[in-house]
Amino acid sequence: MVDVVRVLRRWVCRPALLSGVAVSAAMTLSAAAEAKTLTAVMHSDLRVTDPIITTAYITRNHGYMIFDTLLALDEAFKVRPQMADWKVSDDRLTYTFTLRDGLKWHDGKPVTAEDCVASLKRWAARDGMGQKLMDMTASLTASDERTITLKLKEPYGLVLESIAKPSSIVPFMMPRRIAETPPDKAIGEQIGSGPFRFVQAEFQPGVKAVYEKNKDYVPRAEKASWAAGGKVVKVDRVEWITMPDAQTAVNALMSGEIDFIEQPPIDLLPILAASKEVKVHNTNALGYQTMGRMNFLHPPFDNPKIRRAALLALNQKDVLDALIGNPQYYRICGAMFVCGTPLETEVGAETLVRKTGMEEAKKLLAEAGYDGTPIVLMQPTDVGTLKAQPIVASQLLRAAGFKVDMQAMDWQTLVTRRASQKPPKEGGWNMFFTNWVGADVFNPLVNVSLNGRGRGAWFGWPDDPKLEAFRDAYSRAGSLDEQKTIARDLQAYAYEQAIYIPLGQYIVPSAWRTELTGVLDGPAPYFWNIDKAD
């Protein structure tokens, strides 16, 4: 950037050769060079920019930059006010949310309750926890410009936790005209009320995404904690630079060409940790769960016995050894709701955690009458934490008797393609792998992979009323002991039906230059509160 500015400044001294456009470009580049800019390499490049139509984490991260939320969860898992405060009626049937002062959209218009009602409805149409909330809701209205009123059909204890959901499909607030976009269609504008503005003119998918400080944003007074508290922006610009080669990104961090890497490769962490100019820290204490998902709509995985055979063929150790390698950073764990949480149980996961299912997989596949239909297994090639799972899985599935068609693509292509419900021969798919932060899977409602609403469920689309009955029962449970019992029974059933395949837990520390201070912990990377020394 500095070299380009220097060249353009030389041309400024030759006005006969410099057009007005070039002068403008020189001024823009000069201003960008003089701004306090934080440069980051994220785990993926950004292509999909609507955080409601996808669960892709890079799009969630983008959402946190430019949008805000009514409520937020802090590091103690406590719900806090963000855009709004709330009151609950004595009968616990009416929740009243009041917008705080100073809220403006990036186009200068005030945030209204009608905007927020439309945003909540669009979010709830896509998110499993939101769908459950709407099942319990009698009405959701704007009582006046600043008041949102939610009335329940019956008392429901997860209203605030739903609206404060911190990851996956986050209930981000948007202007009404944008929020009224059909929930299966991408929004056409990137206008929020959050701490950064998206610089559309500088957006180059696959190359760079740029955010500028929203000077009109009024932070809360409280200390920042996870996505809650004061979102005080201390830099002028944040630039997400795409560097698919991990070694190149690490070299750039070591030399000071970039400031932050969200997910450096595990095998290069010792090099980064040894540098006095780099800090390595795990910002996500709950870590990640990696998992496999099959498509329930089309053969062969529309057959539960064949899904079960695929689950039996896989095991966590082979996947984690290839994915992470160093046992210091991974944990074999059969708990769908994450090891180390109150709902932890290994029921149903015995073959995955002990590598004992291959012979049973071969037998069951033969019993199911598998006809050799090839499995279209999508393999992302540009995300370090998603490359290995398809390779290991394809080998194990073939060993069990499956035919596998592993198709390589970049992650953003996969993110787009996994939304297709077409048959595999027409551009659809049979299987893919992804990762969830622990906060996205630690109970039956937040874990979208356990949504059984058919074509209204998460990618894979299981149509399973019994699964939904378990989730309904969990939502009405009156005690932790009751929740544990329901979660255990649900997990046993989900493994039996091979709803999805948990493949263990792992952590990936982030790394940044020591010039940065104020980096927050949380299930997502947050760029407010970070300062950069001059």
Is 163 domain-assigned?
A: yes
Domain co-membership, 199 together with 302 = no
pLDDT band at 67 (very low <50, low <70, confident <90, very high): very high
All residues at 6 or more sequence positions from 389 whose CB lies less than 8 Å from its CB, including other chains: 290, 292, 319, 322, 323, 433, 503
Domain co-membership, 252 together with 370 = no
Domain co-membership, 316 together with 361 = yes
Question: Is residue 30 over pLDDT 60?
Answer: no
Residue 476 main-chain phi, psi, to 5 deg: -105, 0
Average pLDDT over residues 39-54: 95
Counting the structural domains of the chain, the total is 4
**Tell me: the pLDDT tens digits for 440-451?**
999 999 999 999
pLDDT band at 234 (very low <50, low <70, confident <90, very high): very high
Paired tokens of 462: 């299981």
Which CATH number characterizes residue 433's domain? Answer: 3.10.105.10
Residue 246 main-chain phi, psi, to 5 deg: -65, -40
Domain co-membership, 153 together with 215 = no
* For helices 358-367 and 304-313, angle between their N-to-C axes, nearest 10 degrees: 160
pLDDT band at 13 (very low <50, low <70, confident <90, very high): very low
Distance of CA 451 to the CA centre of its chain: 17
Assess contact for 304 and 497: CB atoms under 8 A. Answer: yes
**Tell me: the pLDDT tens digits for 243-276?**
989 999 999 999 999 999 999 999 999 999 999 9
Which CATH number characterizes residue 145's domain? Answer: 3.90.76.10
pLDDT at 345: 96
The whole-chain average pLDDT of the chain stands at 92
For the chain, percent of residues with pLDDT exceeding 70: 94
> What is the rounded CA–CA span in Å between residue 149 and residue 163?
13
> What is the rounded CA–CA span in Å between residue 503 and residue 322?
12
Question: Is residue 300 over pLDDT 80?
Answer: yes
Is 52 domain-assigned?
A: no
pLDDT at 147: 98
SS3 440: helix
**Tell me: the pLDDT tens digits for 461-493?**
999 999 999 999 998 888 899 999 999 999 999
* Radius of gyration of the chain, Cα coordinates, nearest whole angstrom: 24
> What is the rounded CA–CA span in Å between residue 349 and residue 286?
20
Compute CA distances 147 → 107, 122, 370, whole Å.
22, 18, 57
Question: Is residue 223 over pLDDT 60?
Answer: yes
Domain co-membership, 419 together with 313 = yes
Domain co-membership, 8 together with 141 = no
Is 25 domain-assigned?
A: yes
Give yes or no for a cis peptide into 81 (omega within 30° of 0).
no
**Tell me: the pLDDT tens digits for 170-197?**
999 999 999 999 999 999 999 999 999 9
Average pLDDT over residues 293-308: 98
- Supply the DSSP string of 113-161, one letter for each residue: HHHHHHHHHHHHHH-HHHHHHHHTEEEEEEEETTEEEEEESS--TTHHH
Nearest one of 456, 455, 463, 485 to 473, comparing CA atoms: 485
Burial class (CB in 10 A: 0-12, 13-18, 19+), 427: exposed
**Tell me: the pLDDT tens digits for 489-534?**
999 999 999 999 999 999 999 999 999 999 999 999 999 999 999 8
Domain co-membership, 205 together with 221 = yes
Range with the poorest average pLDDT among 327-331, 381-385, 509-513: 381-385
Domain stop point among 139, 154, 179:
179
For the chain, the distance separating the N- and C-terminal CA atoms, rounded to the nearest angstrom, is 17
pLDDT at 19: 39
Is 189 domain-assigned?
A: no
Per-residue DSSP letter, 371: -
Domain co-membership, 303 together with 443 = yes
**Tell me: the pLDDT tens digits for 405-420?**
999 999 989 999 999 9
Is 188 domain-assigned?
A: no
Domain co-membership, 342 together with 402 = yes
Is 470 domain-assigned?
A: yes
pLDDT at 10: 29
> What is the rounded CA–CA span in Å between residue 116 and residue 390?
40
Which CATH number characterizes residue 227's domain? Answer: 3.40.190.10
Residue 92 region by backbone torsions, left for phi larger than 0, else alpha for psi between -120 and 50, else beta: left
Average pLDDT over residues 154-166: 94
Domain co-membership, 319 together with 455 = yes
**Tell me: the pLDDT tens digits for 31-44?**
555 789 999 999 99
Domain co-membership, 149 together with 256 = no
pLDDT at 27: 44
Question: Is residue 396 over pLDDT 50?
Answer: yes
Question: Is residue 237 over pLDDT 50?
Answer: yes
SS3 169: coil
Domain interval for residue 1: 1-30
Average pLDDT over residues 208-231: 97
Is 160 domain-assigned?
A: yes
> What is the rounded CA–CA span in Å between residue 40 and residue 529?
15
Side chain identity at 127, as an amino acid letter?
D
pLDDT at 33: 55
**HEC profile for 46-73?**
CCCCCCCCCCCHHHHHHHHHHCEECEEE
All residues at 6 or more sequence positions from 408 whose CB lies less than 8 Å from its CB, including other chains: 379, 381
Average pLDDT over residues 125-130: 93
Domain co-membership, 426 together with 347 = yes
pLDDT at 35: 87
Residue 335 region by backbone torsions, left for phi larger than 0, else alpha for psi between -120 and 50, else beta: beta
SS3 186: coil
Question: Is residue 8 over pLDDT 60?
Answer: no
> What is the rounded CA–CA span in Å between residue 282 and residue 512?
11
**Tell me: the pLDDT tens digits for 73-86?**
999 989 999 999 99
CA angle 258, 262, 266 (to 5 degrees): 105
Is 190 domain-assigned?
A: no
* For helices 465-476 and 480-497, angle between their N-to-C axes, nearest 10 degrees: 170
> What is the rounded CA–CA span in Å between residue 311 and residue 352?
8
pLDDT at 34: 75
